[in-house]
């Protein structure tokens, strides 16, 4: 069982995490949800389309203008409080690697800390334990926050992913984070080449076999763009293909920009797998 906030998710239930960037320079939407009202509209749309988790980010993942902890808090904490007020049952996640930010967003009502940089601030897990919230433990290949990979190499990329993410998950539980609130993430693109991210997808079953619920953040990423030689705005089909493979291999949570399209893919895979009945089943019965 996966338990986040007030929600419990069954073992075969795929969960959509919708991305809401409170940044003026995000790689995908170029600041479309930087203004608070636009971001709130995005939350309403995502929930209506089937997102169970809203993932709020206050700092662009890639290189760019410096954003200190105080500015990240300004962009996220008050917004979390507004989302909490409007949507009492939605799971609110915050994408941050800083424990100072984590303290403020948890106080404002966050249910999950999405640590995309692989435990670079070890105190983040302590904050999760203190506030009784969930934690995403990600493989970033030892990369520092907001850096791009350069000539990165692994003897066995999945072995390294498993060593790091399972280690971070076990450490979190030892600190007092609830076991049913911990997820592991292979960290597509983070500290990886395109070939590494493709291999991580191909071998995702090795992660799901650990028993820890697996989160994948695939949406419109560079490994999709490089594989198909397409710009950001033309990566949806490649993203959805990768989503289908990840679902078949047992991923539980999907961090996405396009919620409605992802919902259809996940529902179709779940029905093929026998976990979900068809919405309508009239053919051949009349």
Instruction: Say what the pLDDT of residue 172 is.
Output: 98
Rg of the Cα atoms in the chain: 18
Residue 56's domain comprises 12-273
Q: Please report whether residue 7 resides in a domain.
A: no
Taking each helix axis as running N to C, give the angle between helix 99-108 and helix 123-131, from 0 to 180 degrees, rounded to the nearest 10.
Answer: 20
Q: How far apart (Å, rounded) are the C-alpha atoms in residues 119 and 265?
A: 31
204 by Cβ neighbours in 10 Å (0-12 / 13-18 / 19+) ranks as buried
Q: What is the mean pLDDT of residues 222-246?
A: 98
* Catalytic residue IDs: 221, 255
Domain harbouring 53, CATH code: 3.20.20.20
Q: Please report whether residue 6 resides in a domain.
A: no
Q: Please report whether residue 281 resides in a domain.
A: no
Instruction: Say what the pLDDT of residue 81 is.
Output: 98
Instruction: Say what the pLDDT of residue 28 is.
Output: 84
Q: Which two three-digit tokens encode residue 183?
A: 């997820």
Instruction: Please name the residues in contact with 272: beta carbons below 8 A apart, sequence gap of 6 or more.
Output: none
Q: Please report whether residue 283 resides in a domain.
A: no
pTM, rounded to two decimals? 0.97
Instruction: Say what the pLDDT of residue 57 is.
Output: 97
pLDDT digits (tens, 9 = 90+) for 111-126: 999 999 999 999 999 9
Q: Please report whether residue 152 resides in a domain.
A: yes
Q: Please report whether residue 4 resides in a domain.
A: no
Which residues is 114 bridged to in the sheet?
95, 136
CB-CB contact of 235 with 191 (8 Å): no
Instruction: Say what the pLDDT of residue 147 is.
Output: 95
DSSP secondary structure, 131-170, as one string: HT-EEEEE--TTPPTT----S---SSHHHHHHHHHHHHHH
Percent of the chain with pLDDT over 90: 97
φ, ψ (nearest 5 deg) of residue 194 = -60, -40
pLDDT digits (tens, 9 = 90+) for 159-178: 999 999 999 999 999 999 99
DSSP state of 279: S
Q: What is the mean pLDDT of residues 261-276?
A: 98
Q: Between vectors from CA 175 to CA 173 and to CA 179, what angle results, nearest 5°?
A: 20
3-state secondary structure of 250: coil
3-state secondary structure of 85: helix
Q: Please report whether residue 239 resides in a domain.
A: yes
pLDDT digits (tens, 9 = 90+) for 24-53: 988 888 889 999 999 999 999 999 999 999
Does 286 score more than 80 pLDDT? no
Which residues is 30 bridged to in the sheet?
none
Number of structural domains the chain divides into: 1
Q: Please report whether residue 286 resides in a domain.
A: no
CB-CB contact of 161 with 187 (8 Å): yes
Q: What is the mean pLDDT of residues 206-234?
A: 98
More confident residue, 105 or 286: 105
């Amino acid at each position: 069982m996966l338990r986040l906030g007030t929600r419990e998710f069954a073992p075969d239930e795929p969960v959509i995490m919708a991305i809401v960037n409170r940044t003026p320079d995000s790689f995908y939407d170029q600041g479309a949800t930087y203004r608070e009202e636009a971001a709130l509209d995005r939350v309403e749309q995502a929930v209506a389309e089937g997102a169970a988790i809203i993932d709020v980010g206050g700092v662009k993942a890639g290189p760019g203008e410096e954003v200190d902890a105080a500015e990240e808090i300004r962009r996220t904490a008050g917004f979390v409080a507004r989302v909490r007020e409007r949507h009492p049952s939605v799971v609110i996640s915050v994408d941050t690697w800083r424990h100072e930010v984590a303290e403020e967003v948890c106080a404002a009502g966050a249910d999950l800390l999405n640590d995309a940089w692989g435990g670079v601030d070890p105190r983040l897990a302590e904050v999760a334990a203190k506030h009784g919230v969930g934690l995403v433990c990600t493989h970033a290949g030892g990369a520092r926050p907001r850096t791009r990979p350069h000539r990165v190499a692994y003897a066995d990329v999945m072995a390294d992913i498993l060593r790091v993410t399972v280690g971070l998950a076990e450490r979190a539980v030892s600190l007092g984070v609830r076991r049913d609130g911990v997820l592991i993430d292979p960290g597509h693109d983070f500290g990886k080449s395109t070939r590494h991210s493709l291999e991580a997808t191909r071998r995702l079953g090795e992660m799901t076999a650990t028993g820890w619920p697996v989160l994948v953040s695939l949406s419109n990423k560079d490994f999709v763009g490089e594989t198909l030689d397409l710009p950001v705005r033309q990566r949806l089909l490649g993203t959805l293909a990768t989503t289908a493979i990840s679902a078949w291999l047992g991923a539980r949570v999907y961090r996405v920009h396009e919620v409605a399209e992802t919902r259809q893919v996940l529902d179709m895979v779940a029905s093929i797998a026998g976990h979900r009945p068809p919405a309508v089943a009239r053919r051949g019965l009349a």
